[in-house]
Structure 1
């Protein structure tokens, strides 16, 4: 078994890593935040990984690397709800509703709100006349909001204007 305690880079951002053979560890989106993993690669190699950095694993992260090979993370696609907000007020309302269900929200560069598919939430969005689609995607950790984590570090309040 290979043991790794850190991330050695990312194949998506480092061009000097193209020559080596690459084996993949396929993970579900919810496994990327685990601090300790013991999994098998696609090639059958067992790897134990401890995430000392604490940040979620990204697609393409290198878990192990030596002179001949490397082992990288590959996040598997899953069925997702994709919400397209019309304005900031609608974005705030829907993020509040999703946050009340303690579900992680992923927001990409085009301001789409993405979360793993859940039938009751899908029905809520349809009944609320929100623009929502269902698609199979890889949930990337671009911007993650975890509404169930409480912090005393923030010093601001969020309020909606009267009548909106």
Structure 2
């Protein structure tokens, strides 16, 4: 069994370091990329155990192990997703509120497009409310996902929304 504890790089951002090696893929579902410990078999039949020592989410292309012959690379599997396209900022807020109340991670694909893992009740809710929605097979990347794991009365921050999504910010020092 291969034992790994760190992410050694990414073949998408540093392909030259891993070009000469055989790629053996570790297929993961979108919800497994935050796991602290994994024990799986790669597509090539190798057993691998991974303990996420830094606690960072795994991404497509992350290299978990390599030697002189091969490397083990993460492949996030595509899944059925809901693609929601709000027309206004108010619709965006309402949609995010409905999704957030269900504790579902929201992936933002663009300024006017949200993506979540497909859930039948959520699909029917948005369909009933008249939002523009589609079903699509896609990879849910955690790097684009908004999640709040913990909220307390002591948590203090202020979210400022601007006309452009890129100008919005979260002030963590706010009272």
5 Å matches for 1:145-156? 145-147=146-148, 149-150=150-151, 152-156=154-158
Aligned to 2:79: 78
- Aligned CA RMSD, in angstroms, stands at 1.8
- Runs (4+) of structure 1 exceeding 3 A deviation are 151-154
Please say if residues 105 and 146 of structure 2, whose CA atoms lie closer than 8 Å, have aligned partners that are also in contact: yes
What TM-score do you get using the length of structure 2 for normalisation? 0.84
DSSP 3-state at the match of 1:133: strand
1:146/1:44 CA distance change after superposition, 3 Å: same
Structure that is richer in strand per residue: 2
5 Å matches for 1:117-132? 117-132=118-133
Shift in Å at residue 157 of structure 1? 5.8
5 Å matches for 1:1-164? 1-16=1-16, 17-109=18-110, 111-147=112-148, 149-150=150-151, 152-156=154-158
1:157/1:107 CA distance change after superposition, 3 Å: closer
Shift in Å at residue 141 of structure 1? 1.7
Please say if residues 22 and 69 of structure 1, whose CA atoms lie closer than 8 Å, have aligned partners that are also in contact: yes
Shift in Å at residue 110 of structure 1? 5.1
Shift in Å at residue 112 of structure 1? 2.0
Count of residues in Structure 1 that have an aligned counterpart in Structure 2: 159
Structure 2, unpaired ranges of 5+: 162-175
